[in-house]
């Protein structure tokens, strides 16, 4: 979604985007095609897996140079000026960009395992013309501070957030009907694929504590079960049964209408244990919801505690529950907080503002590459 939104915003400024994605099937190619963004599937372009299995890493290395050569040809054929490399471990684009003589921006927008990150940090230090991150917190965590080994200054490229208009008439009733939630029940939602670092377990436990004080409240988990994470999903369902949440807890799975779900909800909770930025939080604020979120990573750059939302310590379901109950009991205060949060997102993370920042960083990379 970040790439799609940035491609549209940059197009208005006269910057064309071409996307390279791994070979194979997947919804992202369909989304790019529907949006009219040109893209190419590159055989062999994949990231190394976080595993100690040497065969997996040998397989990645076997495809590495072939995919880099294909990307160099693609860059030259398309007349690319700047390569914007996403993710720490997708090294192919950055290396190909340097070999093709482009400006290279290596954008850190994920939180890989520490061992993986340490393995790739020298490359991130040496290869790009500009290092970027999705938040100031992530930049500090990855590149350290001045004087550290492999330190480099980091440009912050926040992801763009669309400010939705009013919901279509009947959206609230339709969504709540699909989820089995009464029209007048408080609806608390969390958004994120079922992955341990998203902190769903603490959301489930907080739901039980909220339900004791607000029995009519309902709780919705939006997010798909990732491959290899079925055991974690089973733990969440088991915990909900153990806490006797019954139909008060809804696991909605993967949804394409997250914006509509946010319009139908009353509070967004993001109990993450780590977060590079927190796009779901920004989208919740943009939808006009009061937000309760863990004080981790880049989240404090979105949520100003007590002003545009409430920050709580990670792994603390009681703190989450107390914040949710406070918002439910003080409706006017929650509405004011949500309104300020919406304006903050509009000011800081609009696609137009993010496009301006991206263009500045691209010009910086071009100057460093001697192509300005």
Could you tell me if 306 and 267 lie in one domain?
yes
Chain centroid offset of residue 173 CA: 28
Could you tell me if 123 and 37 lie in one domain?
yes
Asked whether 4 and 35 are in contact (CB, 8 A), the reply is yes
pLDDT at 117: 67
pLDDT at 120: 84
pLDDT at 115: 60
Could you tell me if 185 and 77 lie in one domain?
no
Chain centroid offset of residue 279 CA: 5
Q: Looking at the domain assignment, is residue 166 inside a domain? A: no
Q: Looking at the domain assignment, is residue 165 inside a domain? A: no
The CATH number given to whatever domain includes residue 339 is 3.40.50.2000
What Cα–Cα distance (Å) separates residue 9 from each residue in 6, 35, 37, 282? 5, 12, 12, 18
* pLDDT mean for each 10 residues of the chain (372 residues): 93 95 83 94 83 76 93 97 91 96 93 66 94 93 86 94 88 96 97 93 98 97 85 96 97 93 97 92 96 96 95 98 97 96 94 96 97 82
Could you tell me if 118 and 241 lie in one domain?
no
Could you tell me if 115 and 232 lie in one domain?
no
Q: Which 3 state secondary structure label does DSSP give 272?
A: coil
b/e sequence 234-262, b meaning 16+ C-beta within 10 Å: ebbeebbeebebeebbbbbeebeebbbbb
Could you tell me if 139 and 242 lie in one domain?
no
12 is in which domain, residue-wise? 2-160+351-368
Could you tell me if 177 and 289 lie in one domain?
yes
Could you tell me if 7 and 98 lie in one domain?
yes
Q: Looking at the domain assignment, is residue 201 inside a domain? A: yes
Q: Which 3 state secondary structure label does DSSP give 62?
A: helix
pLDDT at 112: 54
Q: Looking at the domain assignment, is residue 83 inside a domain? A: yes
Q: Looking at the domain assignment, is residue 291 inside a domain? A: yes
Q: Looking at the domain assignment, is residue 11 inside a domain? A: yes
Would the pTM count as exceeding 0.85?
Answer: yes
Could you tell me if 18 and 112 lie in one domain?
yes
Long-range contacts of 300-309 (CB under 8 A, 24+ apart): 300/137, 301/135, 301/136, 301/137, 301/158, 301/277, 302/277, 302/278, 302/344, 302/345, 302/349, 303/278, 303/341, 304/344, 307/337, 307/340, 308/337, 308/340, 308/341, 308/344, 309/281, 309/285, 309/337, 309/341
- CA dist., res. 115 & res. 328, Å (int): 42
pLDDT at 144: 85
Q: How many domains does the chain have?
A: 2
- CA dist., res. 157 & res. 128, Å (int): 15
Residues near 36 by beta carbon (within 8 Å), at least 6 away in sequence: none
Could you tell me if 179 and 140 lie in one domain?
no
State residue 281 phi and psi, 5-degree precision.
Answer: -65, -50
Could you tell me if 257 and 280 lie in one domain?
yes
The token pair at 171 is 């959206």
């Amino acid at each position: 979604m970040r790439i799609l939104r940035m491609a549209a915003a940059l197009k208005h400024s006269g910057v064309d985007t071409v996307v390279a994605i791994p070979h194979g099937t997947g919804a992202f190619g369909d989304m790019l095609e529907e949006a009219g963004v040109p893209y190419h599937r590159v055989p062999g372009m994949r990231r190394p897996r976080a595993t100690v299995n040497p065969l997996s890493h040998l397989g990645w290395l076997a495809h590495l140079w072939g995919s880099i050569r294909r990307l160099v040809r693609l860059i030259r054929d398309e007349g690319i000026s700047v390569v914007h490399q996403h993710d720490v471990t997708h090294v192919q684009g950055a290396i190909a960009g340097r070999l093709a003589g482009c400006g290279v921006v290596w954008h850190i927008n994920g939180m890989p395992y520490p061992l993986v990150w340490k393995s790739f940090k020298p490359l991130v230090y040496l290869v790009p013309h500009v290092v970027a991150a999705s938040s100031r917190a992530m930049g500090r965590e990855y590149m350290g501070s001045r004087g550290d080994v492999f330190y480099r200054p980091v440009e912050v490229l926040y992801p763009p957030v669309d400010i939705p208009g009013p919901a279509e008439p009947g959206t609230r009733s339709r969504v709540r009907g699909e989820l089995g939630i009464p029209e007048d029940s408080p609806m608390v939602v969390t958004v994120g694929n079922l992955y341990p670092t998203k902190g769903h377990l603490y959301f489930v436990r907080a739901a039980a504590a909220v339900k004791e004080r607000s029995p009519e409240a309902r709780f919705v988990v939006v997010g798909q079960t990732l491959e290899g994470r079925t055991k974690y999903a089973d733990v969440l369902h088991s915990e909900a049964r153990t806490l006797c949440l019954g139909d008060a807890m809804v696991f909605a799975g993967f949804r394409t209408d997250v914006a509509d779900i946010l319009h139908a909800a009353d509070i967004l909770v993001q109990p993450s244990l780590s977060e590079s930025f927190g796009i779901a939080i920004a989208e919740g604020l943009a939808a006009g919801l009061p937000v309760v979120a863990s004080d981790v990573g880049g989240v404090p750059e979105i949520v100003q505690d007590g002003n545009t939302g409430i920050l709580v310590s990670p792994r603390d379901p009681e703190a989450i529950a107390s914040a949710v109950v406070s918002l439910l009991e003080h409706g006017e205060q929650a509405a004011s907080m949500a309104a300020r949060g919406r304006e903050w997102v509009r000011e800081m993370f609009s696609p137009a503002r993010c496009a301006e920042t991206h263009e500045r960083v691209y010009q910086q990379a071009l100057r460093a590459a001697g192509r300005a």
